Chain A
Amino acid sequence: MKKVIMGNHAVSYGVRASDVKVISAYPITPQTQVVELLSEMCANGELDAKFIAVESEHSALTACVGASAAGSRTFTATSSQGLLLMHEIIHWAVGARLPIVMSNVNRAVGPPWSIWTDQNDSLSQRDTGWLQIYCESNQEVQDTIVQAFKIAETVMLPVMIVLDAFFLSHTFEIVDILEPEAVRPFLPPYRPARKIDTADPHSFGNLAGPGEYFELRYMIEKAMEDSRAVIERTDREFEERFGRGYGIVKPYRCDDADYVLVTSGTVASTTRAVVDAMRAEGIKIGSLKVRVFRPFPFDEVREVLSKAKKVGVIDRNISFGHHGIFYQEVKSALYGRTNVPVTGFITGLGGRDVTPAVIRGIAEKLIAGTNLEPDINWIGVKI
């Protein structure tokens, strides 16, 4: 059934459809409504799950680790400072190979205190071994939560679904709500090969010496690599069943494009409107949304961008002392394979609005090629 709902509730409905058994989370702006609706669903029986209320995000993810290790399908939600407080356990979930799914509402990190969107919170977790998927609409958020459980439980790695603060979390739009009965054949109950079970005792999280640890890290990377095909297959199966697919990347009007803007999150959506407006004026421009950030879609990015004359990457984040993070990743995907010039643009930090005019300004700057720094161009900074 189609309803007009907020992005945070799209997360909750995705969790409901996925027949999750344990939820532990701590409220934080701007993700609070995710947890509110889920606790309501648990209380009224709409969702047959145990809701574990805790005193911090560190405990929330720790509770998820325990529940997942005991064989339950497990979910948590957080944002910004909360995600950072989880950091130790973020690593733990990966090492323990637990298919936990988390939604993170992208919110800038303090100080100064901010509740508005940028990507530095989730991107600061990029080397932990969580898969990361960035969404641009409430529908995609709901559907990706469901896909995430299937992917996580296939490769035995946790998955983070990322959505922009306010521009998705608090934006109401039409979502075709998935019902658990319809999802069940797509996502059968979670049956792990190994779990904490007093009737069948095993050792978990034990000491691994230099003779074993190395191989366990290799296996995490192997699982990450294997996840590429799993993500693709899961998305395809989802599309066959529900009529909606999202891809690992989403190229838009790139086939004959001289210029391509690389985007993520809600900026990807606004950029498509700009692409159409500029195309109408005869400018050969396209856009490429990077949906899956971990594992990074090297092949897909290379295939689309190597045909362009100029590439601009829009980053709503900054790696201090380096450049925009998507820019780094795109460059590393292209290095040694193609000579297409790539330019980085930083904008929208701390929720600064990325309007069609801002994006158009970036596109025009890229095309003109004048007053362009090679790696990092701050767009709209008032200093």
Chain B
Amino acid sequence: MIEIRTHGRGGQGAVIASEILADAFFREKKFVQAFPAFGVERRGAPVVSFTRVSDGEIRERCEIYEPDHLVVLDPVLIETVNITVGLKRGGWIVINTNRDMCGSGLCDAYRVATVDANSIALKYGLGSRSAPIVNTAIVGAFAGATKLVGIKAVLEAIAEFVPVRKENNMKAAEEAYKSLIVVPKR
């Protein structure tokens, strides 16, 4: 079983990101489950959502406490939330940032990939400058970094799950898939 935790802020599309991921894995014949950390979501507040992927039936129906990988939609969360709590050693952290994460310390225990999903989202008219909607781009980057799921399945899942601007969302995912940076270990 692969367990993925997605960190974002209300309005960025973290919950939809976890659903797109699940749907993409489903298209590659996996069993899947996706759900938000259940709270009263507010715009801008930290939110968490989860995705489980397995070759067999998924029976665990509870939150994920020891994820294999992380998706981080807002890099500021790294300074305000203990995002790596429970994360398994060697797991991927895919972060939306234009900063060089080489000195962040995350690379010591984990594999880190970055993508400038804000710029990509804005380029394709997704959200506004103050609140870009980065969920489709970051899922594309997750596929590119981890190679756990194919970009074709991701694009199909976006077409299924995103209600508006499907084309632009797919382009954003594809660009993120190609432009992500795998951060080298120090």
Contacts and interface: CB of A to CB of B under 8 A. Distances in A.
B60 A270 contact: yes
Given A4-B22, A115-B38, A174-B26, A270 B62 contact: yes
A166 B38 contact: yes
A259 interface: no
B33 A136 contact: no
A363 B28 CA distance: 36
Nearest to B37: A166
Contacts of A353: 62-63
Interface in B4-18: none
A171 B33 contact: yes
Contacts, number: 66
Interface string A90-128: 000000000000000000000000011000000000000
A273 B38 contact: no
B61 A266 contact: yes
Contact of B61 (A30, A115, A172, A270): A270
A173 B33 contact: yes
A174 B56 CA distance: 12
B58 interface: yes
B61 A171 contact: yes
A10 to B, nearest CB: 13
Nearest to A358: B62
B164 to A, nearest CB: 16
Given A171-B34, A351-B38, A4 B58 contact: no
Given A172-B34, A173-B33, A167 B19 contact: no
B23 to A, nearest CB: 5
Given A4-B32, A115-B38, A170-B35, A273 B19 contact: no
Interface residues of B, number: 20
Contacts of A164: 61
Q: Which of A172, A174, A269, A270 has the most CB of B within 10 A?
A: A172
A363 to B, nearest CB: 15
A4 B60 contact: no
Contact of B58 (A2, A173, A354): A173
A214 B175 CA distance: 73
Given A2-B26, A136-B61, A171-B34, 10 more contacts: A4-B19, A116-B38, A167-B61, A168-B61, A170-B36, A171-B33, A171-B35, A174-B32, A272-B59, A354-B62
> Sorted from nearest, which 5 A-B pairs have the closest CB atoms?
A266-B61, A166-B38, A171-B35, A172-B34, A273-B59
A3 B26 CA distance: 9
B81 interface: no
Contact of B22 (A2, A172, A266): A172
Nearest to B18: A172
A192 interface: no
Interface string A56-69: 00000000000000
Contacts of B58: 173
Contact of B26 (A4, A115, A116): A4
A332 interface: no
A353 B35 CA distance: 14
A269 B59 CA distance: 5
B124 interface: no
Contacts of A172: 19, 22-23, 32-35
B86 to A, nearest CB: 12
